[in-house]
């Protein structure tokens, strides 16, 4: 599998294979597989998936073309490399026909635990956190009232 996707670069190969970039580079070095793109020279960012026409990216040839285009966009400063991995993961999910998020119906499901996309998952976590804070405040209020009731009862029994 690594030999088949090696021409796409380390980052794209890691996404395709579902591994970390470090593990892909280690395996490539162990098996003496080059992760350089055809015609590639030295550079900091080796092939990464492209942000256009994700639905058509089904084979390694399309990925190689996409990787070169994205690399050029990154070097030109047109694309933020920090957000690129997330976009690439979503694009591969869309290209593979993954089901859409039931909450927003615009992005593919990325979280297997909730069946939501990353954005909706984080919004749901924030909502649950707000509810939990509200519940904790109500519990504190109940404890204060119980303590007040106990203090009042002790005062009347002592008098």
Run of H or E residues at 87: helix 81-95
d(CA 5, CA 12): 8
Decide: 57 and 91 in contact? Cβ < 8 Å.
yes
Residues paired with residue 22 on neighbouring β-strands, in sequence order: none
The tens digit of pLDDT for each residue in 25-40 reads 999 989 988 888 766 6
pLDDT, position 39: 61
Query: Is the model's pLDDT at 64 over the cut of 70?
Result: no
Q: How confident is the model at residue 146 (pLDDT cuts 50, 70, 90)?
A: very high
Query: Can you list the positions of beta strands (E) in the chain?
Result: none
pLDDT, position 59: 55
């Amino acid at each position: 599998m690594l030999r088949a996707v090696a021409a796409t670069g380390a980052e794209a190969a890691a996404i395709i294979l579902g591994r970390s970039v470090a593990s892909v580079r280690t395996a490539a070095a162990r098996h003496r597989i080059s992760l350089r793109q055809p015609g590639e020279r030295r550079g900091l960012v080796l092939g990464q998936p492209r942000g256009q026409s994700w639905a058509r990216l089904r084979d390694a040839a399309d990925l190689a073309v996409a990787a070169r285009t994205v690399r050029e966009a990154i070097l030109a400063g047109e694309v933020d490399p920090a957000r690129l991995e997330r976009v690439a993961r979503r694009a591969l999910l869309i290209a593979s026909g993954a089901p859409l998020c039931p909450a927003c119906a615009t992005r593919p499901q990325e979280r297997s635990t909730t069946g939501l996309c990353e954005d909706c998952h984080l919004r749901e976590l924030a909502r649950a956190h707000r509810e939990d804070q509200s519940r904790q405040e109500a519990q504190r209020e109940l404890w204060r009232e119980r303590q007040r009731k106990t203090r009042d009862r002790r005062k009347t029994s002592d008098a």
